[in-house]
Amino acid sequence: MNMHPRALEHAYSTLDHVIPNESELTAGVRIEAGRSYGFFTDTTVCIGCKACEVACKEWNNLPADNIGLTGQSFDNTGALSANSWRHVAFVEKSGANGLRGGQDQKFQSGWLMMSDVCKHCHNAPCLEACPTGALFKTEFDTVVVQQDICNGCGYCVPACPFGVIDVSTVDGKAHKCTLCYDRLKGGLEPACAKSCPTDSIQFGELSDLQIRAAERVEHLHGIGVDSAYLYGTPGAPGATGDLGHLNAFFLLIDRPEVYNLPAAPTRPANRVAPSLATGLATVAALALASAFLFAPQRGERP
């Protein structure tokens, strides 16, 4: 096992202090302001344990919501919401596109599991829609809602192409994953990535993660999983419609829609100019039509 040399400095199981730059030991990355951080979620190694969901709720002091059974496989979280910032999707299907093909027991389903989260979009539509400036880009290139500035107008909710951000019915403010902004400031890896037992969620500097993800896709292709591809890296599906790239991106082995992700998300801001032009053209056309209709006819008295 590779152990970071700094780990020897902290050999006791009870500590009276926070380990400085702990993320170096747990994720192999030092967190520094001005750099770009994100998540690489490799869905092929997710086992659906929901440790990420629990770690997120624990750290962020979020209540369990959606009480009851959804009837959707082992998924009782249902969807991302103001109180659920990680959601493990369970897609039951046979064969799982060659990954576990032929190894399933008779009548046993194949599984696609994916821990969904805010994508921390490069050109974040939620941030563009926010009239108060409550949503902002942090020094770690992540997208966070400032609670004291949010007025709960909810403009960000329909602007998000992934259906992530949500306004709480209790405090009336918008909430979503902060990529553990408070932990990053303290040099700690985000709670979900730290708790993931299979490293399906990997935290790190975006450029490193993108290289690591490309190598993983190549490896999977090499062992016969031709369906593996990245969602959200520059030029890939998910990073469409001027979104730039997603700081939280995924490795998938089926169509995005199967995981409840949009195939080609877009920035709603792109539609402002065409909508405005269409509106102005309609007004002009109606004005012209009424001028013809109601103009005095030849021979008629004005």
300 makes contact with another protein (CB under 8 A): no
- Are 76 and 66 in contact by the 8 Å Cβ rule? The answer is yes
72 makes contact with another protein (CB under 8 A): no
The H or E element spanning position 294 is helix 272-294
67 makes contact with another protein (CB under 8 A): yes
Block residue for tokens 């974040």: 124
Taking the C-alpha atoms of 123, 124, 128 and 134 in order, what is their torsion angle to the nearest 10 degrees?
-130
**Which of these, 45, 57, 25, lies nearest to 192 by C-alpha position?**
57
31 makes contact with ligand SF4 (CB under 6 A): no
Only segment of 3-11, 29-37, 54-62, 214-222 that touches another protein (CB under 8 A): 54-62
Q: What's the min distance (Å) between Cβ of 231 and ligand SF4?
A: 12
Whole-angstrom distance, CA of residue 238 vs CA of residue 260: 12
153 makes contact with ligand SF4 (CB under 6 A): yes
Enumerate the β-bridge partners of residue 231. Answer: 250
198 makes contact with ligand SF4 (CB under 6 A): no
Within residues 159-178, the interface with another protein by CB under 8 A covers 168, 170-173, 175
160 makes contact with ligand SF4 (CB under 6 A): yes
Residue closer to ligand SF4, measured from CB, 20 or 234: 234
Whole-angstrom distance, CA of residue 52 vs CA of residue 156: 25
Q: What's the min distance (Å) between Cβ of 161 and ligand SF4?
A: 6
Whole-angstrom distance, CA of residue 192 vs CA of residue 212: 19
Could you say which of another protein, ligand SF4, none residue 65 binds, taking C-beta under 5 to 8 angstroms by partner kind? Answer: another protein
293: exposed, middle or buried (C-beta count within 10 Å: 0-12, 13-18, 19+)?
A: exposed
Could you say which of ligand SF4, another protein, none residue 171 binds, taking C-beta under 5 to 8 angstroms by partner kind? Answer: another protein
87 makes contact with ligand SF4 (CB under 6 A): no
Within residues 99-158, the interface with another protein by CB under 8 A covers 147-148, 152
Amino acid of residue 268: P
* Residue of 132, 169, 282, 290 that binds ligand SF4 (CB under 6 A): 132
- Angle ∠(78,83,86) on CA atoms, nearest 5: 60
142: exposed, middle or buried (C-beta count within 10 Å: 0-12, 13-18, 19+)?
A: buried
Whole-angstrom distance, CA of residue 18 vs CA of residue 132: 35
151 makes contact with ligand SF4 (CB under 6 A): yes
Q: What's the min distance (Å) between Cβ of 29 and ligand SF4?
A: 21
Residues in the site for ligand SF4, rule: CB under 6 A?
Answer: 118-121, 124-126, 129-130, 132, 134-135, 143, 145, 150-156, 160, 162, 164-165, 167, 174, 176
Residues in the site for another protein, rule: CB under 8 A?
Answer: 59-67, 83, 147-148, 152, 168, 170-173, 175
